[in-house]
């Protein structure tokens, strides 16, 4: 790919791809250097390795989830696009370099349908209007497409006409869901969902397993690199037949189910706090014929593990995969891990700073940092994902 850079007509105003002007190999070098700076010393002290970052061959069209805010324009128009960097000013966008083909067309079609149906866009400063955001998820291994339309309350005027308009203009949309968010907040999604068309979910496949994805469930946005990441996470857990694996912060159960699919006789317990994600994880276990070996628990991961450590031998885990949110895990969770003593910990993170902090507690609690493997899930941004593999000393 050499040192070519990519161009985008709205690069200057859009806040999305802050490194677009930086050649991709240099972006990868920068991410490698960050991981080296944050985790390199611990790896060296433990005689572990810091591997070269896994980048993408073609760092475009990788985002299978796209979103837009809406705002009122003049004469009944509905504006949509991206927020300009550091502001809530909307920059229109007809196509985006990093999004899956067609994703932006679906979002723009929602705005045009709203104009034709007279559905007013949300006015952020007043908290008035109806249409707040739209989020689209495109299948990677399937042709399914789930559109979520976020409204400022349960009322969606001319809903049937609106849905038919979107379907007519964007026939690739396989399901449309209304999500209600009445809070004056920057969070896009509210809790309540009403299915307007189709099954209300979509399906995708990763590493030979099929997954149901709902409007509010976490699902990685770069599926090609997700397969790379999951392979590394599963390999890092050193799974052998007969083991009991804990998949902590499991979302819809994707990592644990892929691990169970790959390794016969392995028993998986997944822990996740979002009820909808746990319900989807259970359905995913059944859909993949793995429900006998994969059990999903709705709980706060820290509370679950602290209780498991208290139960001692009754809750044995031979190996652990953990994938917490950006804020990382908690000292209580990590100290319960050290008390339970799984042979290996495979720690997946989208924030190496909190990961390094947590790795330090695991090292103090008896683990050796064996391997650090960065993965580029978000080309043209400064974000880097990382799998840290630890083994009990």
User: Is 315 marked as a binding-site residue?
Assistant: no
Among 46, 144, 323, 370, binds ligand SAM (CB under 6 A): 323
Pick between residue 38 and residue 271 the one whose CB is nearest to ligand SAM. 271
Per-position b or e across 2-41, b if 16+ CB within 10 A of its CB: eeeebebebeebbebbebbebebeebbeebbebbbebbbe
Q: Is 249 annotated as a binding residue?
A: yes
The enclosing H or E element of 391 equals strand 385-392
Q: 220 labelled as ligand-binding?
A: yes
Per CB under 6 A, does 210 bind ligand SAM?
no
Report the residue count for the chain: 393
Strand order in the sheet with 65-72: 78-80, 65-72, 131-138, 145-151, 175-180, 192-197
Q: How far is the CB of 223 from ligand SAM (least distance, A)?
A: 11
Q: How far is the CB of 302 from ligand SAM (least distance, A)?
A: 6
Does 375 engage in binding with ligand SAM (CB under 6 A)? no
Residue with tokens 């976490």: 218
Nearer residue to ligand SAM within complex by CB, 27 or 302: 302
Region near ligand SAM per CB under 6 A, out of 19-27, 237-245, 246-254, 280-288: 246-254
**163 Cβ contact partners less than 8 Å away, ≥ 6 residues apart:** 176, 196, 197
CB of 324 to ligand SAM, least distance (A): 6
Look at residues 368, 229, 228, 211 and name the one whose alpha carbon lies nearest to residue 280. Answer: 211
**Shortest Cβ 342–ligand SAM spacing (Å):** 17
Nearest distance from C-beta of residue 190 to ligand SAM, angstroms: 16
Which of 140, 218, 296, 317: binder of ligand SAM (CB under 6 A)? 218
**Helices of type H across the chain:** 24-45, 103-117, 159-169, 223-236, 254-262, 275-287, 301-311, 331-340, 352-364
Stretch that binds ligand SAM, among 15-23, 39-47, 106-114, 323-331 (CB under 6 A): 323-331
Selected from 272, 318, 358, 370, the binder of ligand SAM by CB under 6 A is: 272
- For residue 384 the two structure tokens come to 């880097």
| Residue 354 lies near ligand SAM (rule: CB under 6 A) | no
Q: Is 272 annotated as a binding residue?
A: yes
Instruction: Indicate the residue among 114 and 388 with the shorter CB distance to ligand SAM.
Output: 388
As annotated, the active-site residues are: 350
**The tokens of 245 are what?**
């694996």
The dihedral of CA 96, 102, 106, 108: what is its sign?
A: positive
* 22 or 336: CB nearest ligand SAM: 336
- Closest distance to ligand SAM from the beta carbon of 317 (Å): 15
Transcribe 48-103 into DSSP letters. Answer: -EEPPPB--SS-SS-B-EEEEEEEE-GGG-EEESEEBTTS-PEEP-S--TTBPTTH
Query: Which one, 271 or 386, has the nearer CB to ligand SAM?
Result: 271
Of residues 287-306, those binding ligand SAM (CB under 6 A):
300-301
User: Does 273 participate in binding ligand SAM (rule CB under 6 A)?
Assistant: yes
* Nearer to ligand SAM (CB atom), residue 10 or residue 141: 141
- CA atoms of 226 and 232, how far apart (whole Å): 10
**With contacts defined by CB under 6 A, how many residues of the chain interact with ligand SAM?**
18
At 361, give phi and psi (nearest 5°).
-65, -35
Q: Which of 13, 167, 181 is nearest to 87 (CA)?
A: 13
Taking the least distance from each CB to ligand SAM, the nearer of 165 and 376 is 376
Binding flag, residue 251, ligand SAM (CB under 6 A):
yes
Residue 274's CB is within 10 A of a number of other CB atoms, namely: 16
Compute the distance between CA of residue 64 and CA of residue 127 in angstroms, rounded to an integer: 30
Of 16-24, 154-162, 193-201, 270-278, which segment contacts ligand SAM by CB under 6 A?
A: 270-278
Is position 319 an interface residue for ligand SAM (rule: CB under 6 A)? no
| Cβ-based neighbours of 209, under 8 Å, separated by 6 or more | 254, 257, 258, 261, 284, 288
CA 284: distance to chain centroid?
Answer: 17
Distance separating alpha carbons of residues 10 and 95, to the nearest angstrom: 10
Smallest separation, CB 275 to ligand SAM (Å): 10
Contact range with ligand SAM by CB under 6 A, out of 28-36, 136-144, 261-269, 272-280 = 272-280
Binding-site residues from annotation = 220, 249, 272, 323
Binding site for ligand SAM (CB under 6 A): 218-220, 249-251, 254-255, 271-274, 277, 300-301, 323-325
């Amino acid at each position: 790919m050499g040192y070519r850079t990519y161009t985008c007509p709205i690069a200057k105003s859009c806040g999305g791809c802050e490194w677009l002007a930086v050649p991709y190999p240099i972006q990868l070098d920068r991410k490698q250097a960050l991981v080296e700076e944050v985790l390199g010393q611990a790896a060296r002290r433990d005689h572990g390795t810091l591997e070269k970052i896994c980048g993408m061959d073609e760092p475009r069209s990788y985002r299978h989830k796209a979103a837009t805010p809406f705002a009122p324009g003049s004469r009944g128009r509905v504006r949509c696009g991206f927020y300009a960097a550091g502001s809530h000013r909307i920059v229109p966008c007809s196509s985006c370099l990093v999004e899956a083909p067609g994703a932006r067309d679906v979002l723009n079609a929602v705005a045009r349908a709203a104009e034709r149906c007279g559905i007013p866009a949300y006015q952020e400063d007043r908290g008035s209007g109806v249409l707040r955001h739209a989020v689209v998820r495109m299948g990677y291994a399937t042709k399914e497409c789930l559109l979520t339309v976020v409204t400022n309350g349960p009322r969606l005027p001319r809903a049937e006409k609106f849905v038919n308009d979107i379907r007519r203009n964007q026939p690739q949309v396989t399901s449309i869901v209304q999500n209600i968010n009445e809070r004056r907040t920057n969070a896009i999604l509210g809790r309540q969902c009403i299915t307007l068309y189709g099954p209300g979910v979509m399906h995708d496949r990763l590493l030979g397993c099929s997954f149901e994805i709902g409007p509010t469930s976490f699902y990685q946005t770069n599926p090609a690199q997700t397969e790379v990441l999951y392979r590394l996470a599963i390999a890092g857990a050193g799974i052998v037949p007969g083991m009991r694996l804990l998949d902590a912060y499991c979302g819809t159960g994707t990592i644990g189910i892929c691990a169970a699919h790959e390794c016969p006789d392995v028993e998986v317990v997944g822990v996740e706090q979002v009820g909808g994600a746990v319900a989807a994880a259970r359905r995913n276990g059944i859909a993949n014929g793995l429900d006998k070996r994969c059990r999903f628990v709705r709980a706060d991961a820290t509370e679950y593990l602290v209780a498991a450590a208290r139960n001692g031998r009754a809750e044995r885990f031979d190996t652990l995969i953990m994938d917490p949110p950006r804020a990382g895990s908690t000292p209580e969770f990590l100290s319960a891990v050290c008390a339970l003593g799984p042979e290996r910990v495979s720690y997946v993170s989208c924030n190496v700073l909190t990961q390094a902090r947590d790795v330090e507690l695991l090292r103090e609690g008896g683990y050796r940092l064996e391997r650090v493997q960065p993965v580029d899930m978000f080309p043209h941004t400064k974000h880097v994902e990382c799998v840290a593999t630890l083994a009990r000393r």
